[in-house]
Amino acid sequence: MLSLARVEVAIAGARILRGVDLAVPAGGRVALVGRNGAGKTTTFRAIMGLLPLVAGSVRFDGTELAGLPAHRRTALGIGYAPEDRRLFPTFTVEENVRLPAEVLGLPAAELRARLERVWELLPELVELRDRRAGALSGGQGKMAALARALVTGTRLLLLDEPFQGLAPALARRYGEILARLVERERSLALLVSESNPELLAPFVDTIATIERGEILSAAG
Amino acid sequence: MGLLFLLAALDGLAYAAQVFLVAVGLTLVFGVLKILNVAHGSLFAIGAYLASTLVGLVGVPWLSLLALAMAALAVGVVLGPVIERGLLARIYEKEHVLQLLVTFALLMILEDVQKLVWGVQPLFEDAPVRLLGQVEVGGIVYTVYQLLLLPGVALLVLVVLAWFLRRTLLGRTIVAVTHDREAAEAIGIDSRRVYLLTFTIGAALAAMGGALAAPTTSLVPGIGVQTIVLSFAVVATAGLGRIEGAAATALLIGLGRSFAVYFTPELEVVVPYLLMVAVLLVRPAGLFGSTELRRV
């Protein structure tokens, strides 16, 4: 479904990704594991089109994404939850979650169905729907960012360091949600990054290790 | 003394309305594009000159108000996209100093274009003011145009803009890009389109400020520069990117300047800037601005 081939990305002249090869098949659950600064976030941003490729290709369902503007990638069924949440602070949780679906111009019934999917999976957000995102705690913000990614992520979900900064109880809860999601939606592909691979073990089938912008190994 | 107070208040209100219309466009553009558009003053000036020309051309008094609106719209939809696509889109990723210099250069160029088209002789066309007539308020005969039309339009712009940004999808995409361009792109918002739309709205607001100011003053070269400096004072005092704040600050500065005119005329020119300096010394982010904290 998603394949990166010899992807190279530079930021301010410094080469961050050096020929990354990575594949996430339909229904595949891939962990991207590496230390801070290894290139995990850059990989996600390159997939989303937020950074230009110096070389290589990013293909989704056989279509080359390199020339596709970032804002047109969610329409393919891709959802992205960045490491630092990046919610819009003056919007409520519900406005943050609805916005990607509204921007896509989904029919009302489809929009409703997608939101119901999100609230059902993340019931703890229901009572926070009217709270401004800027007033959320770090953990609540992570949940809201996941909810926002789920609205467009019907085929591929990209989660960048979802457990980072979460208290142990919240991290467990986040893990339960992901485990439930992958069990219910078998065709959903998942690419999730983390420094600590143990947290991802329950719901991934492949672990790819990244180091200094290169994939060192990919093991199932 | 009471009459003088009332006159100063009425003048201040009308002046604040004019200043707000220009400042709100400047602050909107800065909030989204993160570019302080010095050429905003030229859009005000061209809007004013074009409005005067159109009012003179239509000749019929009752069409003069429509001519003002048409002038603002024409500047917004013609010059706005040309400047944004042709110039600003090329410098979004550049340093702020360069952006400032480019828009300053544009101000200079447009000033000369304005002299080329309209010459350097003062231009005065007050048909819209005469059309609406005068009214007596507390013993003072005042123009309806300045008493009601200018503050009314400013209030309408404030309300419509706030409603547009909060209640419409297009408005929310603008706010989202204001907060975080990359996050907005990642959820499917076309930030290039948002930039174009925002700049066009900002340009039309500047031109509307000019068009509405035109019937109350003689148009001379340099009005664009005067306006941008004063608008910048309003925007900086309010806090960059704050729309409601710009309204409150325009009122404060408009009234401050007006009272200075009547009671301490020697301070008229400096009062807006004294207010700005006083506010920024105490609150560097402006009256309504805030230093953003990032949760980790």
What ipTM score was computed for the predicted complex, to two decimals? Answer: 0.92
Q: Is A65 an 8 Å CB contact of chain B? A: no
Measure the CA–CA gap between A183 and B211, rounded to whole angstroms.
Answer: 63
- Residue A199 is part of which domain span? 2-219
Contact state of B188 with A90 under an 8 Å Cβ cutoff: no
Contact state of B190 with A69 under an 8 Å Cβ cutoff: yes
**Pair type for strands B134-137 and B140-143:** antiparallel
What the block records as the tokens of A117 is 């999917």
**3-state per-residue secondary structure call for A52-118:** CCCEEEEEECCEECCCCCHHHCHHHCEEEECCCCCCCCCCEHHHHHHHHHHHHCCCHHHHHHHHHHH
**Pair type for strands A189-194 and A156-159:** parallel
Measure the CA–CA gap between B1 and B222, rounded to whole angstroms.
Answer: 34
For chain A, how long is the longest CA-to-CA vector?
A: 46
Alpha-carbon radius of gyration of chain B: 19
How many CB pairs (< 8 A) connect A and B?
67
What are the chain A neighbours of B184 within 8 Å (beta carbons)? 71, 88
3-state SS, residue B9: helix
What the block records as the tokens of B237 is 């005092």
Domain B2-282 has CATH 1.10.3470: yes
**What does residue B93 show for φ and ψ, rounded to 5 degrees?**
-90, 0
Contact state of B187 with A100 under an 8 Å Cβ cutoff: yes
Q: What pLDDT score does B293 carry?
A: 45
Residue A92 to residues A71, A134, B164, B292, Cα–Cα distance (Å): 22, 8, 17, 18
Q: What pLDDT score does A202 carry?
A: 79
Q: Which amino acid is at B14?
A: A
Q: Tell me, what CATH number does A214's domain have? A: 3.40.50.300
What are the chain A neighbours of B183 within 8 Å (beta carbons)? 82, 86-88
Q: Please check the confidence at residue A219 and state whether its pLDDT lies above 70.
A: no
Measure the CA–CA gap between B170 and B165, rounded to whole angstroms.
Answer: 7
Q: Are residues A218 and A57 in contact, defined by beta-carbon separation less than 8 angstroms?
A: no
What the block records as the tokens of A206 is 């492949």
The backbone region for A27, taken as left when phi is positive above 0, alpha when psi lies in -120 to 50, beta otherwise, is: left
Contact state of B188 with A72 under an 8 Å Cβ cutoff: yes
Total structural domains within chain A: 1
Contact state of A71 with B185 under an 8 Å Cβ cutoff: yes
Measure the CA–CA gap between A60 and B231, rounded to whole angstroms.
Answer: 48
Q: Are residues A147 and A97 in contact, defined by beta-carbon separation less than 8 angstroms?
A: yes
Among chain B, residues having any CB pair with chain A shorter than 8 Å are 169, 172-173, 175-176, 179-180, 182-191, 294-296
What the block records as the tokens of B18 is 């004019």
Q: Is A44 an 8 Å CB contact of chain B? A: no
Q: What pLDDT score does B294 carry?
A: 40
Q: Which amino acid is at B102?
A: V
Question: In terms of C-beta density within 10 A (0-12 exposed, 13-18 middle, 19 or more buried), how is residue B280 classed?
Answer: middle
Cross-strand pairs, A217: A209
Measure the CA–CA gap between A106 and A35, rounded to whole angstroms.
Answer: 39
Q: Is A28 an 8 Å CB contact of chain B? A: no
Residue found under tokens 């004019």: B18
Q: Which of B174, B185, B187 to mutate to test the interface with A (most CBs of A within 10 A)?
A: B187
Taking the CA of residue A62 and the nearest CA in chain B, the distance in Å comes to 21
What are the chain B neighbours of A80 within 8 Å (beta carbons)? 186
Query: Mean pLDDT for each consecutive 10-residue tract of chain B (296 residues)?
Result: 88 94 94 91 96 92 91 96 96 92 96 95 93 90 94 96 94 94 96 96 96 94 90 88 89 92 89 90 85 43
What the block records as the tokens of A73 is 């990638």
Taking the CA of residue B210 and the nearest CA in chain A, the distance in Å comes to 32
Write out residues 119-148 of A within 8 Å (CB-CB) of B. 138, 141, 148
What the block records as the tokens of B139 is 């013993």
Contact state of A88 with B175 under an 8 Å Cβ cutoff: yes
Contacts of A128 (CB under 8 A, 6+ apart): A93, A136, A140, A144
Residue B252 to residues A65, B3, B23, B176, B213, Cα–Cα distance (Å): 52, 20, 13, 29, 19
Residue of B nearest to A76 (CA): B188
Residue of B nearest to A105 (CA): B169
Taking the CA of residue A76 and the nearest CA in chain B, the distance in Å comes to 10
Q: What is the per-residue pLDDT across A58-87, written as a single tens digit (0 to 9) for each?
A: 999 989 998 899 999 999 999 999 988 899
Mean pLDDT of the A4-11 span: 92
Contact state of A74 with B186 under an 8 Å Cβ cutoff: yes
Contact state of A90 with B179 under an 8 Å Cβ cutoff: yes
pTM summary value? 0.90
Residue of A nearest to B189 (CA): A71
Measure the CA–CA gap between B232 and B240, rounded to whole angstroms.
Answer: 9
**Pair type for strands A189-194 and A214-219:** unpaired
Residue of A nearest to B183 (CA): A86
**Looking at chain A, how many residues does it have?**
220
3-state SS, residue B264: coil
Instruction: Give just the sign of the alpha carbon dihedral A125, A128, A131, A135.
Output: negative
Measure the CA–CA gap between A131 and A91, rounded to whole angstroms.
Answer: 8
Residue found under tokens 């859009």: B43
Q: What is the per-residue pLDDT across A137-184, written as a single tens digit (0 to 9) for each?
A: 888 999 999 999 999 999 999 999 998 888 888 888 988 899 899 889
Q: Is A13 an 8 Å CB contact of chain B? A: no
Residue A198 to residues A142, A213, B74, Cα–Cα distance (Å): 19, 22, 62
**What does residue B105 show for φ and ψ, rounded to 5 degrees?**
-60, -40
Residue of B nearest to A96 (CA): B176
Contact state of B187 with A102 under an 8 Å Cβ cutoff: no
Could you tell me where the beta strands, DSSP code E, fall in chain B?
Answer: 134-137, 140-143
What are the chain B neighbours of A89 within 8 Å (beta carbons)? 179
Q: What pLDDT score does A218 carry?
A: 65
Q: Which amino acid is at B274?
A: L
Q: What pLDDT score does A217 carry?
A: 72
Q: Are residues B28 and B198 in contact, defined by beta-carbon separation less than 8 angstroms?
A: yes
Contact state of A74 with B176 under an 8 Å Cβ cutoff: no
Q: Is A11 an 8 Å CB contact of chain B? A: no
Q: Is A102 an 8 Å CB contact of chain B? A: yes
Contact state of B189 with A102 under an 8 Å Cβ cutoff: no
Q: What pLDDT score does A195 carry?
A: 79
Q: Which amino acid is at A17?
A: L
Quick one: which of B108, B123, B111, B75 has its CA closest to B220?
B123
